[in-house]
Amino acid sequence: MLWSKLFIPTLRENPAEAEVASHRLLLRAGYIRQLSAGIYNYLFLAQRSILKITNIVRQEMDAIGAQEFYLPALNPSEVWKESGRWDVMGDNMFRLKDRFGRDLCLGMTHEEVMTSIARGEVRSYKQLPQIWYQIQVKFRDEPRPKSGLLRTRQFTMKDSYSFDMDAAGLDVSYEKHRQAYCCIFDRCGLRYMTVEADSGAMGGSQSHEFMVESEAGEDYVVHCPATGYAANLEKAVSRAVAPAMADPEGDLTPEEFHTPGFKTIDEVSAFTKLPASSQMKSLVMVGDGKPVLALLRGDHQLSETKLAGVMGAAEVRAALPAEIQDWFGAAPGSLGPIGIPIKMRIVLDKALEGRRNMICGANKDDFHLRNVTPGKDFKADYHELRQVAAGDTSVDTGDPLQIVKTVEIGHIFKLGYKYSKAMGLSVLDESGKENTVIMGSYGIGVERILCAAVELFHDGNGMSLPASIAPFTVVVTPVNVKDAALAEAAQKLYTECKAAGMDAVLDDRDERPGVKFKDAELVGIPWRITVGKKLAQGIVEVVERRTGKLTEVPVGEAVGFVLAAL
């Protein structure tokens, strides 16, 4: 292709509205333009890159025996009502009515539709397992679209669904996906981590996320370089740093003391001259409408996800001040596990196991208790409730943990029977008995692969995409198109590149060399063959975008040089 004929609207200056690197550079390099909040036009370069990504995805999915479908984005409400998600999805779902007033929505994901196909057609164990996938558009009315293509309201997803007879079959389908995803992300040239993820309170037994480390990300991953442990912060476990001070010795009896106006952990800490780790933090939470008191070490944070898991609740929230007053007869800041007027479940974080003679609220405004020992002074029910904090170490080895910010590019998930049960998907087994099908679902955010690549690989001059997903592999740049010898040699090199099967572009624009170099670097083409002065000696330059390394090679060897480096 000839650059002079292409629509590649690069910008000299940074667009004002873009902050994160991928957003800024995709705009500047002329890949995308915004249509509305969270809705983007993909121009020529973006579309080229996305097609390369989806081809890789398609090849690897096909390689595990998955079959490509293409389902409607426009969905009737019925299937969503069957699964219960018509209500669950709330405002995140785009909804509309047809001319007869029937409810429709734009699909956010396709478990329901895939399940509806399977239940209508799949009747026998002989037809299983199946893996069906599609590469298709998804719609989610995000509360806050942000960061360019990282969080949008319309995006492309590769979503697949597996159908198996039993858990062992699901294990196989799941493992196939895990490996396919690794192949996909490897081929896309990404550095990523596979991490354990929270599988929710609803029966999902296992889940992994594929994460790329980036400041632009929205998820936190706990990672142990020494042991290789990696988990989403929501799910991660760790060994906490020891309490700052040992507990008082002996079987002491709880004793009330006056703490006028001291409510927070820090205030009580300053007042008692004891570290936060000597206190028990009392958090009143509500899970699916039921109150619970969660106790943690004063310097620890509650993980709401873990608490939800312990309670088996779909959703947890902090109790409102009025609810707390009603249940405890005291205000937040003086709460504790002893003498609660109503019956309420109390759960303790495991970091409190073995602790004694601690400080907590007395359920009486402006009073606290000292010498409170879990298990002795109240019934202790220990669970993993704490969020991993900076400085924590590996549970197994005590090696240091890191907490890193990441972008989620893929997620694989054992669904279990959630949809097959709700929607009645079963087959006859060998003995002629009905067997509910077990399912898995697996997603890849296609645009996020592009974003993650830009986040990982960019510098002051622009992006530097992996050759496998760059819109072009090589650009041939004659330094001066008015010089017939240069123009002719460049044209010839370009033709050779094409003949060698490379995605090449000839920068035949009548521009100064600086302009062409800048554009090629901004757009992120991995290789450039520069045809300039030294052509007289039969020499051209091959420049690698990522390293900036320049090699002078004879004209006849330039194409081979690039090919060999790919």
Query: What is the residue-wise DSSP string for 437-490?
Result: PEEEEEEEEHHHHHHHHHHHSEETTEE---TTTSS-SEEEEES-TTSHHHHHHH
Tell whether residue 286 is a contact of RNA (CB under 7 A): no
Q: How many other CB atoms are found less than 10 A from the CB of residue 550?
A: 11
92-119 exposure pattern, b = at least 16 Cβ within 10 A, e = fewer: ebbeeeeeeeeebbbbbbbbbbbbbbbb
Q: Binding segment for RNA among 141-149, 237-245, 382-390, 427-435 (CB under 7 A)? A: 141-149
304 Cβ partners below 8 Å, 6+ apart?
Answer: 285, 316
Element (H, E) at 405: strand 402-416
Q: Which of 30, 38, 254, 440 binds RNA (CB under 7 A)?
A: 38
Q: How far apart are CA 164 and CA 131, in angstroms?
A: 9
Q: Per-residue string for binding with RNA, 473-512, x by CB under 7 A? A: ------xxxxx--------------------------xxx
Q: Which of residues 436-465 bind RNA (CB under 7 A)?
A: 443, 461
Q: Provide, rounded to whole angstroms, the least separation between the CB of residue 5 and RNA.
A: 13
Q: Per-residue string for binding with RNA, 53-82, x by CB under 7 A? A: ------------------------------
Q: How far apart are CA 44 and CA 39, in angstroms?
A: 16
| CB of 476 closer than 8 Å to CB of 529 | yes
Element (H, E) at 346: strand 345-349
Q: Which of 384, 492, 513, 561 binds RNA (CB under 7 A)?
A: 513
Q: Which is nearer to RNA, 432 or 514 (CB)?
A: 514
**Which tokens go with 420?**
């097959």
- In sequence order, the β-bridge partners of residue 257 are 368
| CB of 346 closer than 8 Å to CB of 307 | no
Tell whether residue 273 is a contact of RNA (CB under 7 A): no
Q: Provide, rounded to whole angstroms, the least separation between the CB of residue 2 and RNA.
A: 15
Tell whether residue 200 is a contact of RNA (CB under 7 A): yes
Q: How far apart are CA 316 and CA 347, in angstroms?
A: 14
Q: Provide, rounded to whole angstroms, the least separation between the CB of residue 522 and RNA.
A: 5
Q: Binding segment for RNA among 46-54, 122-130, 140-148, 295-303 (CB under 7 A)? A: 140-148
Q: Which of 411, 414, 448, 458 binds RNA (CB under 7 A)?
A: 411
3-class DSSP state for residue 358? strand
Q: Which is nearer to RNA, 200 or 275 (CB)?
A: 200
Q: How far apart are CA 427 and CA 441, in angstroms?
A: 19
Q: How far apart are CA 415 and CA 161, in angstroms?
A: 9
Name the region of 107 (left: φ>0; alpha: ψ -120 to 50; beta: rest): beta
Q: Which is nearer to RNA, 150 or 372 (CB)?
A: 150
Q: Which of 543, 555, 559, 562 binds RNA (CB under 7 A)?
A: 543
Q: Binding segment for RNA among 127-135, 185-193, 249-257, 516-524 (CB under 7 A)? A: 516-524
Q: Which is nearer to RNA, 48 or 545 (CB)?
A: 545
Tell whether residue 243 is a contact of RNA (CB under 7 A): no
Picking from 405, 482, 441, the residue whose alpha carbon sits closest to that of residue 177 is 441
Tell whether residue 536 is a contact of RNA (CB under 7 A): no
Query: What is the residue-wise DSSP string for 14-70?
Result: --TT--SHHHHHHHHTTSEEEEETTEEEE-HHHHHHHHHHHHHHHHHHHHTT-EE--
Q: How far apart are CA 160 and CA 34, in angstroms?
A: 29
Upper half-sphere CA count for residue 453 (Cβ side, 13 Å): 31
Tell whether residue 526 is a contact of RNA (CB under 7 A): no
Q: Which is nearer to RNA, 83 or 278 (CB)?
A: 83
Q: Which is nearer to RNA, 123 or 533 (CB)?
A: 533
3-class DSSP state for residue 561? helix
| CB of 428 closer than 8 Å to CB of 434 | yes
Tell whether residue 37 is a contact of RNA (CB under 7 A): yes
Q: Which of 58, 146, 376, 492 binds RNA (CB under 7 A)?
A: 146
Q: Provide, rounded to whole angstroms, the least separation between the CB of residue 216 and RNA.
A: 9
Tell whether residue 532 is a contact of RNA (CB under 7 A): yes
3-class DSSP state for residue 251? coil
Q: Per-residue string for binding with RNA, 150-169, x by CB under 7 A? A: -x------------------
Tell whether residue 15 is a contact of RNA (CB under 7 A): yes
Q: Per-residue string for binding with RNA, 295-334, x by CB under 7 A? A: --------------------x-x-----------------
Q: Which is nearer to RNA, 336 or 462 (CB)?
A: 462
Tell whether residue 288 is a contact of RNA (CB under 7 A): no
Q: Binding segment for RNA among 13-21, 63-71, 281-289, 399-407 (CB under 7 A)? A: 13-21
Tell whether residue 36 is a contact of RNA (CB under 7 A): yes
Picking from 494, 522, 526, 497, the residue whose alpha carbon sits closest to that of residue 508 is 494
**Which tokens go with 509?**
């624009």
Number of residues that bind RNA (CB under 7 A): 59
Q: How many other CB atoms are found less than 10 A from the CB of residue 266?
A: 13
Instruction: Return the ∠ at Cα 314 (arms to 309 and 315), rounded to 5°.
Output: 95
Q: Binding segment for RNA among 7-15, 288-296, 370-378, 392-400 (CB under 7 A)? A: 7-15
Q: Per-residue string for binding with RNA, 331-370, x by CB under 7 A? A: ----------------------------------------
Q: Binding segment for RNA among 32-40, 44-52, 167-175, 224-232 (CB under 7 A)? A: 32-40
Q: Binding segment for RNA among 189-197, 370-378, 489-497, 518-526 (CB under 7 A)? A: 518-526
Binding site for RNA (CB under 7 A): 10-17, 19-20, 23, 34, 36-38, 88-89, 92, 108-109, 140, 142-147, 151, 200, 218, 315, 317, 411, 443, 461, 479-483, 510-515, 517-519, 521-522, 530-534, 541, 543, 550
